[in-house]
Structure 1
Amino acid sequence: MSAAIVVIFLFMLLAAGAPIGFALIVAGSVGIYWIGGADALLGILSSMPRDSAATYEFLTIPMFLLMAEFVLRSGIADDLFKAAAAWFGRVRGGLGIATSLAGAGFGAICGSSTAAAATLSATSLPAMLRYGYEKRMASGVVAISGTLSMLIPPSIAMVIYAMLADVSIARMLIAGVIPGIIVTFTIALTVYLLALWRPEDAPLTEKVTLREKIASLRLVGPMLILMMAVTGVIYTGIATPTEASAVGAFCAGGLYFWRGKRSGQEVIDIVSRSTKTACMLGLIILGAHVFTTFFALTQTTQSLVSWVGGLNVAPWVIVGIIVVIILIMGFFMDQMAILVLTVPIVAPLLSSLGFDLIWFGVIKIVTAEIGLVTPPLGLNCFVVAKYSKIKVGDVFWGMLPHVISHMIAILILLLFPQISLWLPNHMQ
């Protein structure tokens, strides 16, 4: 009973506009005080902030954020789109396909979905509109391609999931590689089919010679360097995710300075933005720990596991119900809020049913991608609308085919777990 009341209180705080981190801390603290009194609350609050901040793996988050900021300011995203457009511009829907590839490439060097959507809105979207692409189709592919940063390493969302579910960050990050390729292919195929259906919505671009195509490949070089600096060293076991994130931030900083003259104020802004975001995420993780501690005191999770274990249904039915619930939550809640609210409860449940939490982490992230592009709170769609001056309703309409194809991708990942687990199982 106490757990239900505290959860309702938490949702009231969120509905009132309280930041997710503060809402979790306040609601969790109220629950702990209710169950254990002032001594229990003071004991937890006196140690948990230090323990959360002192976690070695947490350093991965600010380093990936710093890497993302350097990448955003370096102009690498422009080069990725130009190279992809040179190769696919003469394919039906080629610029849309190039956008999905640029989104995947950008996701491989930047773990922020909204940053990817904003960057693609400033690079690939104007190019598509200039060539006569229908605005709904163009804005839709930009919004959905931005979500690839959540799945393809380095992914901030995957790091946080791994910390909340208590699984290997390295295996979690590597697990996103093959599903990321599949989802990228899904986006590209959706664009191609839409272009075949309505060719006037996706005109062809001018021809590019083979010499120019080959020359454009040099633009991909910086992305490959950063990929090897992060994903490559994690997969081969040369470095831990925390060490790899520091190497990635260093390499991204080197590319940032190499590609142009920089001001001291701009560097300060980059460090400041990444620090502020890292502090915000740190507060959210602290709030998740406080709230999870309250759940542990009430034995809510254990009771839920026992109750589900006694149900006369197949475990896959339970997984399907969880995925549907997460999809519905994504229509109304921020993805980070869903992550910290559901993972501490769902992870022990699925583990008790024999499911691999790495595999489910991939399912969780791909499901969260849909929440980023569906109304009424599809953040990526609002970002694209803001940067492109296209009505947000048109962006949402342009997203509809991609939402359907994403559902199919989730089904494939659910039916074939080895797609997500093959690479992690072969790590050094």
Structure 2
Amino acid sequence: MIYANPATGLVGIAVLIALLLLGGRIGVVLGLVGLGGLAVVLGPEAALIKSGVVLIDVLTKYELGTLPLFLFMAHIFFSIDASRDLFDAAAKMVGHRRGGLAYAGIAGCGGFGAINGSSLATTATVGLVAYPEMKRRGYADTIASGTIAAGGTLGQMIPPSGALIVFGIIAETSIGSLFTAAIIPGITQALLYAAVVFILVRWKPEIAPAGERAPWSERLHSLGRIWEIVLLIAFVIGGIAAGFISPPEAAAIGAAGALLIAAMRRKLTWNNLFGAFHETLRTSGLIYLIIIGALIFSVFVGVTGLADGAGALVQSLGLGKIGTLILLGVILLMLGSVLDGLALMLLTTPILLPIVEAQGLSAIWFGIFITRAMEIGFVHPPLGMNLYIIQGVAKDLSITDIFRGVLPFLASDFLHILLIILFPAMVLWLPEVLA
């Protein structure tokens, strides 16, 4: 095995990045580069055998059932306009305050993120509801677009999160513990965004004027539209955190509960039901392909010794624990500016996870850390997918204006990821308490 060395791994990564930048499908590219690399290192027959083992192992994982069930729940809620109801309730409660609709946008993103688990979907659906309302109330373009673009990233962190499910599978760690670990970072992230809004509207009051106070009858009516959704999400997340239901069981309860809520609202039509099935199957198939490709690529990286070599290199720098983690954060943020979020996670996990574990931190902490870096990539140019989604919602805005609006929130993101590095207990305390 003369090619089983870190240099071969680096060549594989260079080929992978080049193919991704040329527009290759992430799952296909990961699998083909991993399979090709294994063929070079181990030989074609051994490469096919190892890849086949990975394929069977993934498809027989019990935990993998979590993903399509949560996706089905999200698509059912999407069909009954849950995002509109969540934003409307928040707007009725705080919309009369200066910057109130911006707070409501963050709350709406957090609530729909807990249902959907996707940053892009959260940004798009809440943006379609919240942005026109902010503009109607006289909000400046910067705070209206920036709030929704940044708030949309909560969809990746607040459980149940698709990114955390994928990480749990490829890192072979507990999805339930990842969901529990994400609760405090998700809440503190939302609070930091709210703090940014608070500072901006105190600095420039004209960018977010106060509105009319909704009567309590309207507030109670809006809360009546979301109580069952909030109760279901609280039960699903709380049940996982408390440990009395597993993530697959919670996902099944969530999917059944979403169907019940849709039926109660008389929106469980054949079109909505089959639309949810179609989107769930399509998205699940794509993600399964990505997971299988990522694990084949991970085996290739392991065989070349690249992860061990990278760990030895970082250790030789003598940066210490905090310095090493900050360096990894900088690397992730740099890669996140040119790579899709999921590509970033799947490419770097097999290389960086051993380095993090060598610093005395667990895969649980790294899962939250890398998901946070992924989120920042959604609002960081040149990719910044959330920025382009907002541009699709607000066609009169240039991408430059949207980026100007998201800059203060991006600063709070950098502060938040630094706090996660300096205070790992933000991530690890709750899983340890509830274990």
Q: Give the TM-score normalised by structure 2.
A: 0.95
**Are 1:198 and 2:207 an aligned pair?**
no
Match of 1:114 among 105, 112, 120: 120
Question: 1:151-170, aligned counterparts within 5 Å?
Answer: 151-170=157-176
- Maintained 8 Å contact 1:109/1:226: no
Residue 385 (1) aligns with residue 395 (2):
no
Displacement of 1:215 in angstroms is: 4.3
- Secondary structure of the residue aligned to 2:211 is coil
Q: What secondary structure is seen at the aligned counterpart in 2 of 1:400?
A: helix
How much does 1:214 deviate?
4.1
Amino acid of the structure 2 residue aligned with 1:397 = R
Corresponding position of 1:418? 425
Q: Is 82-91 or 154-163 further displaced after alignment?
A: 82-91
Aligned to 2:32: 26
Aligned 8 A contact 1:14 1:23 in 2: yes
Matched, 1:366 2:364: no
Matched, 1:16 2:22: yes
Q: 1:96 aligns with which of 97, 102, 121?
A: 102
Q: How far apart are residue 340 of structure 1 and its match?
A: 0.3
Match in the other structure for 1:332 = 338
> Which residue number corresponds to residue 398 of structure 1?
405
Secondary structure of 2:260 counterpart: helix
What CA distance in whole angstroms lies between the structure 2 residues aligned with 1:270 and 1:216?
Answer: 25
Q: Over residues 337-389 of structure 1, what are the superposed CA-to-partner deviations in whole Å (9 max), with x where a residue is unaligned?
A: 00100111111121122113222222222221111012111111111211222
User: Which digits, 9 at most, give the CA deviation of each residue in 1:23-58, with x for residues without a partner?
Assistant: 111111111111111111121233322211111111
Give, in whole Å, the separation in 1 of the partners of 2:55 and 2:140. 50
Matches within 5 A, 1:194-273: 194-273=200-279
Structure 1 segments of 4+ aligned residues over 6 angstroms from their partners: none
Equivalent-residue separation in structure 2 for 1:215 and 1:82 (angstroms): 10
1:150 paired residue number:
156
From the superposition, tell whether residues 343 and 261 of structure 1 become closer, same or farther in structure 2 (CA, over 3 Å): same
CA–CA distance in 2 between the matches of 1:66 and 1:196? 41
CA distance in 2, matches of 1:292, 1:164: 9
Partner of 1:427: 434
Seen in structure 2, the aligned counterparts of structure 1 residues 261 and 5 have a Cα distance that, compared at 3 Å, is closer
How far, CA to CA, are the matches of 2:139 and 2:46 in structure 1? 60
Q: In structure 2, what residue type is equivalent to 1:361? A: G
Q: Distance in 2 between matches of 1:396 and 1:64?
A: 32
Pairs within 5 Å for 1:292-307: 292-307=298-313
What secondary structure is seen at the aligned counterpart in 2 of 1:11?
helix
Structure 2 gaps, min length 5: 1-6
Aligned residue among 53, 62, 67 for 1:47: 53
Query: Are residues 227 and 262 of structure 1, via their aligned partners in 2, closer, same or farther at CA, if it must alter by over 3 Å?
Result: closer
Match of 1:291 among 282, 297, 308: 297
**Alpha-carbon distance change, 355 to 92 in structure 1, aligned in 2, over 3 angstroms:** same
Distance 1:260 1:391, change over 3 A: farther
Match of 2:326 in 1: 320
Q: CA deviation at 1:156?
A: 0.5
**Cα displacement string for residues 61-86 of structure 1 (whole angstroms, at most 9, x for unaligned residues):** 11111111111111121121111112
SS in 2 for 1:230: helix
Q: Which is further off, 123-132 or 161-170?
A: 161-170
Question: 2:85, 2:256 → 1: CA distance?
Answer: 20
Determine helix, strand or coil for the equivalent of 2:367: helix
Structure 1 residues 48 and 359, CA, compared in 2 at 3 Å: closer, same or farther? closer
Given that 2:322 and 2:422 are in contact with CA atoms closer than 8 Å, whether structure 1 keeps it comes out as: no
- AA in 2 matched with 1:409: H
> Quick one: distance in 2 between partners of 1:75 and 1:242?
25
Partner of 1:185: 191
Give the aligned residue type for 1:107: G
Per-residue deviation at 1:316? 1.6
State the match for 2:88 in structure 1.
Answer: 82
Does 155-164 or 261-270 show the bigger shift?
A: 261-270
Q: 1:76 touches 1:222 (CA, 8 Å); kept in 2?
A: no
Q: Is the 8 A contact 1:92 1:204 kept in 2?
A: yes
SS of equivalent residue, structure 1 residue 109: helix
**CA drift at 1:211:** 4.7
Alpha-carbon RMSD across the aligned residues, in angstroms, is 1.6
